[in-house]
């Protein structure tokens, strides 16, 4: 579609993108409003430096492999710490229970 049939000019597209709270959704809104493809909106925004990397086009978030691995390691570390604390708590309760049983046995024998 030609630039003259757009509802918004390139400045209007940039302004709409900058003001948007959800930038990923705004890409499709701007494309629909101007009857152009989403990739054309991305090209316009890239031309003006508003998008440095290609944002994810598919729905949902797309993360780099490095981010995913760092996140997985953080979650793993948290889970390991939780598991360690849980094991210590169970051991402590077991020792307390055993100590009470021993105390009850010695009280019965005395």
Based on the fold, state whether residues 42 and 11 are members of the same structural domain: yes
Lowest mean pLDDT among 4-8, 56-60, 88-92: 56-60
Is the model's pLDDT at 55 over the cut of 50?
Answer: no
In a domain, 54, yes or no: no
**pLDDT more than 90, % of the chain:** 24
Cα(76)–Cα(70) distance, rounded to whole angstroms?
A: 10
Based on the fold, state whether residues 108 and 69 are members of the same structural domain: yes
In which domain, by residue range, is 33 found? 3-47
- 28 or 5, which is more confident? 28
Q: Between 23-34 and 10-19, two packed helices, what is the crossing angle to 10 degrees?
A: 150
Based on the fold, state whether residues 73 and 109 are members of the same structural domain: yes
Q: pTM here?
A: 0.44
Q: Report yes or no: 28 and 59 within 8 Å, Cβ to Cβ.
A: no
Mean pLDDT of all residues in the chain? Answer: 82
In a domain, 56, yes or no: no
Mean pLDDT of 4-25: 84
């Amino acid at each position: 579609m030609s630039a003259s049939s757009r509802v918004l000019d390139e400045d209007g597209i940039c302004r709409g993108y900058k003001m948007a709270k959800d930038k990923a959704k705004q890409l499709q809104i701007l494309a629909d409003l101007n009857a152009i493809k989403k990739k054309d909106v991305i090209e316009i925004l890239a031309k003006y430096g508003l998008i440095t990397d290609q944002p994810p086009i598919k729905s949902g978030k797309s993360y780099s492999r490095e981010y995913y691995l760092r996140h997985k390691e953080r979650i793993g570390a948290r889970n390991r710490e939780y598991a360690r604390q849980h094991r210590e708590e169970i051991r402590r309760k077991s020792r307390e229970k055993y100590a009470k049983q021993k105390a009850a046995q010695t009280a019965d024998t005395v």
